[in-house]
């Protein structure tokens, strides 16, 4: 943890959730007491169909919401896309861009991720830019080089210290596997240094660096106490209120 940075724990519900699941967010809000509010920022990124309703249900809770992706375009003939201004209109504060599932399943390039992040910034959203290596890339000793390249190609022009970077080793997402604390420390230190080259050291020192990839209550304390880890991007565990809160408490 970077002691001068207030951590962020963001839940990515992925393609899960219908109106009945708003009860999960209500339970999270109930457990988000004054002490936790002071120590940790929370955000929930539901599917787009729930974003407005979920945001409205969390008014007064100080839990933010976000989109799981956003278009690089503000409007137009882009069937099925959701723009950054639309996310803002629905009440979002964040937009996840470049998640490994978007990069892998939809073939998104670094340039596309950067364009989306810039669209998010222009609309007033905070982009959560995701980076991470595959199992083959790590075993080949290329993990650091891959992530540095992703950062150079994906960090939006004009980014400030409000930018969020999420390191999510692709091989750890949804598998139950996690890198060692030493591996996470090495990667997050490298990310901070690369951001220093991109944004300047003073700005990079305040950027929140999240870890994502099979984060759960049983490993959260260890992961959240690694240097340069400023919170978590949580997948499956964010669909269970108590698990999500336990991870948040690990940051506190």
Check if the beta carbon of residue 128 is closer than 8 Å to that of residue 94. yes
Measured CA to CA, the distance from residue 40 to residue 84 in angstroms comes to 25
DSSP, collapsed to helix, strand or coil, labels residue 30 as helix
Measured CA to CA, the distance from residue 216 to residue 210 in angstroms comes to 14
Check if the beta carbon of residue 10 is closer than 8 Å to that of residue 128. yes
231 backbone dihedrals φ, ψ, rounded to 5° = 130, -165
Which of the following is catalytic: 32, 99, 101, 118? 99
Check if the beta carbon of residue 244 is closer than 8 Å to that of residue 215. no
Measured CA to CA, the distance from residue 139 to residue 207 in angstroms comes to 28
Active site residue 106: no
Active site residue 27: no
Measured CA to CA, the distance from residue 207 to residue 192 in angstroms comes to 8
Which of the following is catalytic: 108, 118, 133, 168? 168
Active site residues: 99, 168
């Amino acid at each position: 943890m970077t002691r001068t940075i207030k951590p962020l724990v963001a839940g990515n519900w992925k393609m899960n959730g219908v109106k009945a699941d708003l009860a999960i967010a209500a339970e999270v809000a109930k457990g988000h007491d004054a002490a936790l509010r002071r120590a940790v920022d929370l955000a929930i990124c539901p599917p787009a169909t729930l974003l407005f309703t979920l945001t409205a249900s969390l008014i007064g809770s100080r839990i933010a919401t976000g989109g799981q992706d956003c278009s690089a375009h503000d409007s137009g003939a882009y069937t099925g896309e959701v723009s950054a201004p639309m996310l803002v209109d629905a009440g979002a504060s964040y937009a996840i861009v470049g998640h490994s599932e978007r990069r892998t399943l939809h073939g998104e390039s670094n340039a596309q991720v950067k364009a989306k992040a810039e669209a998010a910034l222009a609309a007033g959203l905070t982009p959560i830019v995701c980076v991470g290596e595959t199992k083959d890339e790590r075993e080949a000793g290329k993990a650091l080089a891959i992530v540095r390249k992703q950062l150079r190609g994906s960090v939006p022009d004009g980014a400030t210290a409000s930018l969020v970077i999420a390191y999510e080793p692709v091989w750890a997402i949804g598998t139950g596997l996690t890198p060692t604390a030493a591996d996470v420390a090495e990667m997050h230190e490298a990310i901070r240094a690369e951001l220093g080259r991109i944004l300047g050291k003073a700005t990079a020192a305040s950027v929140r660096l999240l870890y994502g990839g099979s984060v759960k209550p049983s490993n959260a304390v260890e992961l959240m106490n690694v240097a340069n880890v400023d919170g978590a991007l949580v997948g499956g565990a964010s669909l269970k209120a108590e698990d999500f809160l336990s991870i948040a408490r690990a940051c506190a």
